[in-house]
Structure 1
Amino acid sequence: MDGSPTRQRLLTLTGVDKVFGGEVVALRGLDLDVFEGDFISLLGPSGCGKSTALRLIAGLSHPTSGRIAWEAGEQSLSVVFQEPTLMPWATVAQNVWLPMRLKGQGFAAVRGEIMDALKLVGLEKFQNAYPRELSGGMKMRVSIARAMVTHPKLILMDEPFAALDEITRFKLNNDLLAMQAKLGCTVIFVTHSVFESVFLSDRIVVMAARPGRVIEELPVTAPYPRTEEFRTSAEYAAWCRGASDALNRAIGAA
């Protein structure tokens, strides 16, 4: 999608710097416009500030300078980390309940919403299972369900599939796009993978390190839904080459 005037601007980062300890420059001059319904991938080498940018957007840290502005007032958001971070003593349903529990909502009152979220990730039959009984991919599905149960406007995802095998990763990529289409949420997704960024995104923001900054922004104009046919197409391969070239320029600029 292209930031057209028919879609509302959700979030704007303007000239954002982040410095740690007075000397480590994690981000410098980061500018980013986020529109409703965007799927944006932050692509770049380790140390380029991708995860730092997510933490700033989430409010888990604050910029040293610059501005992060929600265009229509601060909106609801959820974060999915690289590790599922599930509570081992709680069932799948209880783990998904957590953000609502923190708001004082009882389990019985929101059970329908919890089950809807589990159905969205294909885990409704595992509602009473414990994390130790689940595969890595299933644990990540629980984490995604927990992020989506409150129907946030924005979901921030920090390399959520990096530790998974390729088959599971491809399946979760497919499912994530289907979930985004159903919920109509905006996603900002951190990845090191050119192939993943092209398959998922309508915009790829390529970053360089030392200091972390945006080098290029690449639109991916292939229509959704994206299927396995797209994944094996010449069009997909061409976009992957373009993203790979941009990533190599970012690495060379570090």
Structure 2
Amino acid sequence: MSQTGAALADTTPPSLAKPLVKMEHVSKIFSNGTLALNDMSLTVERGQFISLLGPSGCGKSTALRIMSALGDITTGTIDWPSSRISSKGRPEGDISFVFQEPTLMPWKTVFGNVYLPLKLRGVTKAAAAPEIEKVLKTVGLQDFANAYPRELSGGMKMRVSIARALVTKPKLLLMDEPFAALDEITRQRLNDDVLKLWRETGITVIFVTHSVFESAYLSSRIVVMRARPGQVFDDFPLVTSAERDEDYRTSEEYRAACEKVSHSLQGAIQAAGGHH
């Protein structure tokens, strides 16, 4: 049976696929002299759900911006082995970013906000409509396409932001503490939604958080960072036997995972001299 090149690319087992991002000995010094990252190495394999966990000010968001090519590095190398690289040396179209705030255009409808990245690529609204409808259904907002941001709750605004990130069909979804400002119930619901999305689409996710509980619930791999300067302190897989759902939240296995992650985070804080 013959297959097209595109189909072959899609069916490559993750073990044989090139990494999505490869950071090697990366350091970042800001213009004010702050050493934000020091000698950070990290390889992101396809299909993983990675939590970047660490105390505030440990460089998690800086690392994420560098991975998305929104920030430059001072020393070291960063490569996107699976991506087409532009003439400026940046990956083209494979990475989407969900920020801490939804950053929606208040004068545009939900549909209009999700359409924005496709519009920037020159896709007509008519051609984009089926994909936008599909992605709104994925995040549970199919009935709110014509609503404006002011009419939405905080959780719904964040769903729009996620839909906008997904509409370009990225290989890598970067999420920078997207649920930190939400109440606990909304946050748990969105955690479940993101996990479902990850399972169904096979997308790779890097999720920045400083919540032990959130990282232990979501991740297939946890990267713990120490602060000042930021670097990888610990990096381990988190495999569970059970489906991560409401029952898992009260299970002994989840409690043990939280304990392991918490212990690692404490080690990172102590290694940084206890400042956090």
| TM-score class normalised by the smaller sequence | over 0.9
Corresponding residue of 1:27: 37
Corresponding residue of 1:164: 182
Matched-pair contact (CA < 8 Å) for 1:17–1:64:
yes
How far the C-alpha of 1:73 sits from its partner, in A, is 3.2
Alignment CA distance shift 1:221-1:63 (3 Å)? same
State how far apart, in whole Å, the 2-side matches of 1:225 and 1:111 are. 34
1:185 paired with 2:203, answer yes
How far the C-alpha of 1:6 sits from its partner, in A, is 4.4
How far the C-alpha of 1:182 sits from its partner, in A, is 1.6
State how far apart, in whole Å, the 2-side matches of 1:143 and 1:116 are. 15
Select the structure of larger CA radius of gyration: 2
Unaligned runs of 5+ in 1: none
Structure 1, residues 135-172: CA drift from partner, whole Å, max 9, x if none? 00000000000000111000000000000000000000
Matches within 5 A, 1:38-57: 38-57=48-67
Q: Which runs of 4+ in 1 moved over 4 A?
A: none
Corresponding residue of 1:9: 19
Corresponding residue of 2:46: 36
Corresponding residue of 1:219: 237
Matched-pair contact (CA < 8 Å) for 2:96–2:172:
yes
Matches within 5 A, 1:117-132: 117-132=135-150
Corresponding residue of 1:142: 160
Structure 1, residues 56-99: CA drift from partner, whole Å, max 9, x if none? 01111111011111122345110000100000000000000010
1:70 paired with 2:88, answer no
Alignment CA distance shift 1:150-1:204 (3 Å)? same
State how far apart, in whole Å, the 1-side matches of 2:66 and 2:54 are. 17
- Larger fraction in strand: 1
1:239 paired with 2:249, answer no
Matched-pair contact (CA < 8 Å) for 1:177–1:225:
no
State how far apart, in whole Å, the 2-side matches of 1:69 and 1:92 are. 34
Q: How many residues align?
A: 252
CA-based RMSD: 1.5
How far the C-alpha of 1:4 sits from its partner, in A, is 7.1
Range with bigger deviation, 149-158 or 16-25: 16-25
How far the C-alpha of 1:225 sits from its partner, in A, is 4.0
Task: Provide the identity percentage.
Answer: 57
Amino acid at match of 2:140: G
Matched-pair contact (CA < 8 Å) for 1:157–1:190:
yes
How far the C-alpha of 1:236 sits from its partner, in A, is 0.6
Corresponding residue of 2:171: 153
Matched position secondary structure for 1:128: coil
Normalising by structure 1, report the TM-score: 0.96
Structure 1, residues 195-227: CA drift from partner, whole Å, max 9, x if none? 000111011100011100111112111157411
Matched-pair contact (CA < 8 Å) for 2:14–2:46:
no
Matched position secondary structure for 2:20: strand
How far the C-alpha of 1:229 sits from its partner, in A, is 1.3
